[in-house]
Each structure stands twice: as structure tokens, then as C-alpha cells.
């Protein structure tokens, strides 16, 4: 007989998940004097030990390929030098897909989650992004407006530190910015090409510091943000929110704890969180007054769908039946080109931020009769990057041969490529969702998710628009496009669903309890002491990376929860 170990005391707030959402809730609540218990499915993070910042590839025998040459066979879960936090496949924790559809689900299992490695592009949603249905009749409007969330964008940017400039562009609302770093040479070329095409190209908005902030050092421009930063000069919830919160003594962290189910009482309130202690593979329960689910959009949906009871037969907070539906990812499409103006460029250190210094916000938002709804932004890549395994594979394949002449060609290819990557808005569709697979459980006995994913003509037309635009920009720079792919082919052209890692919308908010799971404060319509604080509540997936909005929304939810706790409403 399974013995469940229950906590003797009742915790005020249990937060499940420690990424951008969970980290922000922990930061805000502890700052307001509320005691928090944080449950994380992975281990504690130790940046000093776990980060491989500043390491050269030749400092390790396999040079980054992995002990069993995983990189050469596309079996590497995550780059060897990157922050150690994510997996496309987790042993013993599968997910399935509906036959004929493809979806890739990136999961993180560590304190800080994906914020340890993410791109840190920090874009506010625009005013019209909260009213997609009112704008073009597709999807649904959010229950909140830009004005509702703007103060929380302010708080988030002020606290985590975001670079940028005031531009007065409607698709890219200005925020509270630190001074951005200078552009790199290829970014200056892209900017000039865009000027000629009447496309805006502005300093990127990045959660990285150019000035010290709250005891965190300014960036030292090594270009390795994705490896994790030992000086915490970029934002990660682990270093910027959770570690400082732990010093307040108001947060208890339980690691290696895989949430299994939320337990409710006869009135429908959550009374405990059941989790698997992965160290002992035993089930434990923490009793709570309230719970904040921030396990990542799909993992949060899974947890709620698995929290079934007589009262909540379709899963907790799911009387509307919307949980798992309205799943979207960003539309991804990339193109690169060889730029002759960069041939022979005097060599210099162009590391800078781990990411672009300039980007292209969406520009056709006012255009009538566009060939596709909504829009995209463009990320710019290039420069003299640290040589890594695989960097010369394209040159080897293109030039063939061997010996000194091959070496000369490889050297001539270094730093002359500019890449453009579009990230655009997908419209939710009925064929794209996640649900509980009725036949499969993970190694802890927890039923797993089954995904269905489909792009529609909206997204395919958008990818074609990206291709045409990127060709124009590259040609304007005097470059030649390399490897033109068919935009419609998943993986070669338009991205495979899930691979941009902007999956969201699976526990959406709304004013109508019949068509949404959460209210305007991300509080469950069906359970007043249940909140969701990741990207699951999003009603749409605008052409801006979701993390800053996760942070702002979580901040707002946490303040509301603190107020409700004080009033005795939860």
C-alpha cells in the first residue's frame, strides 16, 4: 500500500516551477513578507560549478561533442557548453503525438528553468496585441489591456534590467531601458539596408546589464549568455530572484519534486500539492492555503488535467474544457547570406552580448489587406563567433577538396555570413492542442501529454513573406542568399511546432468562465486559491518573445494574491 507523507503544517503559498513565472512570484511575494514554498522538478543550480562560461572547446577532450559524439548524430540534448538545464527528451518521461503530427517539447528541470539559458530578448506586447479579435476577427481578445499590464512591464524592466532605446514604434512599445551596447559591423550593414527598404531596425531589447544593478555586475561582453553568467549580468530567475529570495528566509525550496496532482476538498479549493520525491520515488504532499502553478505552459496544463476528482471530472479549473486547447508556438523561419562587404574585414572582438544588438520590429501593422494576419520580428545573427564544432561543416561541404586551398576557403568564410530569423505570431487552431494520453504514463506513474500540432495557411503565408523580405535585405547589403528552402516544408522552411520554445496558451485567461480557465488575474474561475503564472494563461502569442510578459503578468498575479491573502479571501 502506498504511503503518502503529508506535511504537518499548512503552507501559505506553494509555487510549482521556478522559471520566469515562478521566480517572479517568489520574488514579489517574499518581498511583500509572504512565506512561500517552491517546488522544482529538477535539482538546485550552482552557477559556479554548473556554468561553462569562458571555456574554450579545446579544454575538453570531446571539444563539446559529448562523451559519445552525440552532436555528430543529432542526439545531443542541449549544447555541451550551454547552461545545463534542458532536454528535448527526458529518459522515463515521454510525451506522445497524435499520428501524422509533429511537435517537439523542450522541458527544463532545474532551479531557474529555461531562464538560465534563454535568449533574453525582452519585448513588450503592443496595445493591439491584447485585442487580436477586435483587430482582425481571429482568435480572442485578452481580458486585460496594455494599460493594465504596463505598470508591471515597468516593474519587471526596472528590476531585471533591460537595454533599449525610445523609438515610438507602435509594434514595439518603449520601456524603462538601460543604454544598449553599440551595434556590431554586420548589424550596421543590416540597419543601412533596412533604412533603404523603409524597414525599422533598432537596438534590441535584452535582459542584460550595461550598468550594475542591485549588486549584479555590468556585462563583460563575452558573448556567452547562453552558457549562464557567473556574474549574473543577465537575467535568470535563479540568480536574480530565487537566490536573493532564499536569503530572506521566507522561501523554502523543495528540489527534485515532480508535481503529480493538486488535491481539492469538498468545496473545490486546493488543499495540498501531491508530488513525487524523485530522490526516494515516494509520494509526498504539502498542504497549502493557495497554490501558484508555474510549471511551463504545457506542464501546467498536464498537472491540472491530471488533478481529477468527482467535482472536477475533466481536471481542475477545467469546467470550460479549454485546458490544453489554444496551444501555439512562434512561427520560425531563417535565411542567411554571404556578404562580400564583410570579406577581409579587420578582425576584432565582436562577442558583445550573447545575442543580437539590433533587431527588426514588425512594421506592417497598419497595412490593410496584408497577405497574412498579424506579424513577426526579425533577429539578426553574425560576427566573428567563437569557433565551435560544426562551424566549418558548411564550408567543407560547399568547397570540398582538402589541403591548404580548403583551409584558405574556410578562413575566407569566417564571419562573412549574416543570418536573419523571423519570429511570428501563430493563430490558435482546433488541430493544435495537448491532452492527456489515455495509455501512457511516465516513470512516476503520471499520465503524459499527447500533442497535436498543425500550421495553417496563415503561418505558411507568413513564412513566405519572411523569405521574400530576408532575400531583399540580404540583396540590399550586396549579399547572396545561401540555401533557399521551401518555406512550406516543416523543419527546412517553417519551423517544427515547439522548436522555437514559445509554446503557450494552454490554460487561457478570459472574462467568460465558459471559454476560459482563468480570470483577469490568472486566478482559476473554478478554484479561488489556484493561480497560474507562466505562459499558459496567454490568450494569443504575439510576435514578441513571451518571457517579459510572463514576468509582468506573474508580478501582477503575485501582488493580487498577496492582497487576497491579506484580505482573507483565499
Under the binding rule (CB under 8 A), the answer on residue 162 touching another protein is: no
Total residues binding another protein (CB under 8 A): 92
Do 516 and 362 touch, CB atoms closer than 8 A? no
Q: How far is the CB of 301 from another protein (least distance, A)?
A: 37
Among 144, 477, 500, 535, binds another protein (CB under 8 A): 477
Among 216, 284, 450, 508, binds another protein (CB under 8 A): 216
Under the binding rule (CB under 8 A), the answer on residue 217 touching another protein is: yes
73/133 with CB nearer another protein:
73
Among 35, 309, 388, 471, binds another protein (CB under 8 A): 388
- Helix, strand, or coil (residue 407): helix
Contacts of 266 (CB under 8 A, 6+ apart): 311
Cβ-based burial of 564 (10 A; exposed 0-12, middle 13-18, buried ≥19)? middle
Rounded CA separation 203/296 (Å)? 29
Render 362-385 in DSSP notation, one character per residue.
Answer: ---TT-SS-SSSS-EEEEEE-S-P
Under the binding rule (CB under 8 A), the answer on residue 151 touching another protein is: no
Among 10, 59, 486, 514, binds another protein (CB under 8 A): 59
Under the binding rule (CB under 8 A), the answer on residue 54 touching another protein is: yes
Rounded CA separation 352/180 (Å)? 11
Q: How far is the CB of 27 from another protein (least distance, A)?
A: 18
Write down the H helix ranges in 222-336.
237, 243-247, 297-306
- Helix, strand, or coil (residue 493): coil
Q: How far is the CB of 473 from another protein (least distance, A)?
A: 11
Q: How far is the CB of 191 from another protein (least distance, A)?
A: 9
Which 8-state DSSP code applies to residue 71? G
Residues 1-20 within binding reach of another protein (CB under 8 A): none
Do 36 and 26 touch, CB atoms closer than 8 A? yes
Among 149, 162, 185, 522, binds another protein (CB under 8 A): 185
- Give the start-end residues of each E strand in 411-498: 417-424, 433-441, 447-452, 480-482
Among 478, 482, 488, 560, binds another protein (CB under 8 A): 478
Under the binding rule (CB under 8 A), the answer on residue 445 touching another protein is: no
Rounded CA separation 520/289 (Å)? 21
Under the binding rule (CB under 8 A), the answer on residue 389 touching another protein is: yes
Under the binding rule (CB under 8 A), the answer on residue 491 touching another protein is: no
Q: How far is the CB of 119 from another protein (least distance, A)?
A: 18
Under the binding rule (CB under 8 A), the answer on residue 39 touching another protein is: no
Residues 356-375 within binding reach of another protein (CB under 8 A): 357
Q: How far is the CB of 87 from another protein (least distance, A)?
A: 20
Under the binding rule (CB under 8 A), the answer on residue 61 touching another protein is: yes
160/527 with CB nearer another protein:
160
Q: How far is the CB of 477 from another protein (least distance, A)?
A: 6
To the nearest 10 degrees (0 to 180), the angle between helices 457-476 and 185-197 is 110
Among 99, 137, 249, 404, binds another protein (CB under 8 A): 404
| 3-class secondary structure per residue, 195-214 | HHHCCCCEECCECECCCCEC
Amino acid at each position: 500500500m502506498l504511503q503518502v507523507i503529508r506535511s504537518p503544517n499548512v503552507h501559505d503559498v506553494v509555487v510549482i516551477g521556478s522559471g520566469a513565472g515562478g521566480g517572479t512570484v517568489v520574488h514579489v511575494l517574499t518581498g511583500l513578507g509572504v512565506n512561500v514554498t517552491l517546488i522544482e522538478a529538477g535539482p538546485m543550480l550552482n552557477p559556479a560549478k554548473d556554468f561553462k562560461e569562458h571555456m574554450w572547446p579545446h579544454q575538453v577532450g570531446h571539444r563539446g561533442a559529448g562523451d559519445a559524439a552525440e552532436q555528430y548524430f543529432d542526439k545531443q540534448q542541449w549544447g555541451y557548453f550551454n547552461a545545463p538545464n534542458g532536454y528535448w527528451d527526458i529518459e522515463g518521461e515521454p510525451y506522445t503525438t497524435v499520428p501524422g503530427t509533429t511537435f517537439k517539447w523542450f522541458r527544463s528541470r532545474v532551479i531557474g528553468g529555461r531562464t538560465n539559458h534563454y535568449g533574453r530578448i525582452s519585448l513588450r506586447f503592443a496595445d493591439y496585441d491584447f485585442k487580436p479579435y477586435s483587430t482582425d476577427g481571429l482568435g480572442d481578445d485578452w481580458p486585460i489591456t496594455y494599460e493594465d499590464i504596463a505598470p508591471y512591464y515597468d516593474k519587471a524592466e526596472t528590476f531585471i534590467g533591460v537595454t533599449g532605446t525610445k523609438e515610438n514604434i507602435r509594434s514595439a512599445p518603449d520601456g524603462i531601458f538601460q543604454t544598449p551596447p553599440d551595434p556590431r559591423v554586420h548589424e550596421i550593414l543590416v540597419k543601412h539596408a533596412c533604412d533603404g527598404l523603409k524597414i525599422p531596425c533598432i537596438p534590441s531589447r535584452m535582459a542584460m546589464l550595461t550598468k550594475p544593478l542591485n549588486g549584479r555586475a555590468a556585462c563583460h561582453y563575452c558573448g556567452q549568455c547562453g552558457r549562464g553568467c557567473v556574474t549574473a549580468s543577465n537575467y535568470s530567475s535563479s540568480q536574480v530572484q530565487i537566490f536573493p529570495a532564499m536569503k530572506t528566509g521566507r522561501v523554502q525550496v523543495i528540489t527534485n519534486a515532480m508535481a503529480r496532482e493538486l488535491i481539492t476538498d469538498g468545496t473545490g479549493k486546493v488543499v495540498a500539492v501531491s508530488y513525487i520525491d524523485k530522490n526516494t520515488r515516494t509520494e509526498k504532499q504539502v498542504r497549502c492555503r493557495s497554490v501558484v502553478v508555474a510549471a511551463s505552459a504545457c506542464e501546467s496544463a498536464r498537472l491540472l488535467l491530471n488533478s481529477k476528482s468527482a467535482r472536477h471530472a475533466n481536471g481542475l479549473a477545467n469546467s470550460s474544457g479549454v485546458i490544453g486547447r489554444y496551444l501555439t508556438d512562434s512561427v520560425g523561419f531563417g535565411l542567411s547570406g554571404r556578404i562580400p562587404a564583410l570579406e577581409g574585414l579587420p578582425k576584432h572582438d565582436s562577442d558583445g552580448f550573447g545575442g543580437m544588438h539590433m533587431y527588426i520590429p514588425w512594421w506592417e501593422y497598419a497595412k490593410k489587406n496584408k497577405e497574412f494576419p498579424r506579424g513577426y520580428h526579425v533577429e539578426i545573427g553574425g560576427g566573428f563567433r567563437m569557433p565551435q564544432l560544426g562551424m566549418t561543416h558548411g564550408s567543407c561541404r560547399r568547397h570540398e577538396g582538402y589541403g591548404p586551398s580548403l583551409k584558405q576557403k574556410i578562413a575566407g568564410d569566417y564571419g562573412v555570413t549574416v543570418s536573419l530569423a523571423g519570429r511570428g505570431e501563430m493563430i490558435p487552431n482546433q488541430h493544435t492542442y495537448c491532452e492527456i494520453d489515455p495509455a501512457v504514463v511516465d516513470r512516476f506513474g503520471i499520465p503524459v501529454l499527447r500533442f497535436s500540432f498543425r500550421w495553417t495557411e496563415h503561418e505558411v503565408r507568413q513564412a513566405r513573406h519572411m523569405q521574400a523580405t530576408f532575400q531583399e535585405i540580404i540583396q540590399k547589403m550586396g549579399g547572396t542568399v545561401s540555401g533557399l528552402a521551401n518555406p512550406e516544408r516543416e523543419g527546412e522552411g517553417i519551423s517544427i511546432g515547439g522548436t522555437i520554445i514559445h509554446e503557450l496558451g494552454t490554460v487561457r485567461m478570459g472574462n467568460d468562465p465558459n471559454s476560459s480557465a482563468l480570470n483577469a488575474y490568472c486566478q482559476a474561475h473554478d478554484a479561488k486559491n489556484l493561480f497560474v503564472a507562466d505562459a499558459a494563461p496567454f490568450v494569443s502569442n504575439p510576435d514578441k518573445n513571451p518571457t517579459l510578459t510572463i514576468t509582468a503578468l506573474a508580478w501582477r498575479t503575485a501582488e493580487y494574491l498577496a492582497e487576497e491573502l491579506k484580505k482573507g479571501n483565499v
